[in-house]
Amino acid sequence: MKLNTFMKAAALTTAAIAFSFSAVAGTTKFKMATDSGAKGSPAGEALEHWAQIIESSSRGSEDEMKVDIFYQDELGDQKEVFDLLVVGEVDLMLNWPLTSYDKRMGLRNTPYLFMDWQQAFDAYKPDGWLNKINGEVHSDLGIKYFGAWPEGFAGVASRGKYATSIDGAKGMKVRVPSNFPNPQTMQALGYQATAITRGEVYTCIQTGVVDGDAGNTIYWDYEYFRDVLDYYVRTKHTFVTGALSMNMEVWDDLSDNQKKIIADAAQAVMKKQFTEAKARDQKYVDQAIASGMKYIEPTDAEIRAMAKVAREKVWPLLDEEFGSDIVSKIKEQAPKL
């Protein structure tokens, strides 16, 4: 499922640029970006860590590298920044990929792939089954995939009311990202799913256009929308993870030593996140509670009831989006309910 020639030419024409990395006075310079996370955020700190290792490991050598960092919205919105990665105007990235080029990028949003942290970690670790699939999908788009940057289980943040069951969710309208299978999942869980761009979420909750936001870990809802939210229900319908990656043509033009430095640095950033993700997620739970938000974890029985219905309604749609080979692996690897 490779990016076809027409799409690639169109992307290049729109961007009207060549590759962004350049060798100046013996130093190779890169643009590194994230589509989500300001300076000082966990994603922003991960970028800085990655860049610092790259620069310090190459300093003073013939393969010296410098990295310019761009945070959320500094180079455009989520889709625009991903476009820049595909065409090579952004070289290195921590992002949450959209499905605009390949529907298989939505694989990470498959509902109830995991029921606990360890299952997710096993799938996303360097030799994990899902990590291998993600590597193949990224490669087909001309992107070098280093691996996953896990955040934790998603939930539904809401104002005025909340639900821990499918029946309880009926009548509640929540914002979801538009890409498959996010809307389909929330509809299966009883909610009215409304696709709204991230920049409009706060106002839409504040004015009652929607009752809440669905699909984020608690960090994002606490950090950006806590003033208009009352509840956070950890539905665990997806396990949220970003991706560390690089434009493949830029990667191919590097020396072997530069490749090793960049890849080793990416592994160090991911290892740190795998080690700290669960504790960091709990930190934001505690901060949300301290700010006045009520945090709710549905019972195991409630989670399994939601998972059963979501799988029954959404998983039959996966073949058309992801292909039968990937869906077979999902059904083989996903925990039984």
The per-residue pLDDT for range 254-277, each reduced to its tens digit, is: 999 999 999 999 999 999 999 999
Q: Quick one: pLDDT at residue 239?
A: 98
Ordered by where they begin, the domains of the chain are 5-151+241-276 (3.40.190.170), 155-238+285-333 (3.40.190.170)
Calpha distance 67→273 (Å, rounded): 21
CB atoms inside a 10 Å sphere around CB 66: 15
How many whole angstroms separate alpha carbon 251 and alpha carbon 176?
Answer: 34
Q: What percentage of the chain exceeds 90 in pLDDT? A: 89
Residue 203 has pLDDT above 90, yes or no: yes
Give tens-digit pLDDT for 129-141: 999 999 999 999 9
Mean pLDDT of the 55-74 span: 97
Q: What pLDDT does residue 199 have?
A: 85
Task: Taking residues 70-89, report their average pLDDT.
Answer: 95
Count CB-CB contacts under 10 A for residue 126.
14
Strand extents, DSSP E, 2-132 = 22-24, 27-34, 65-70, 92-95
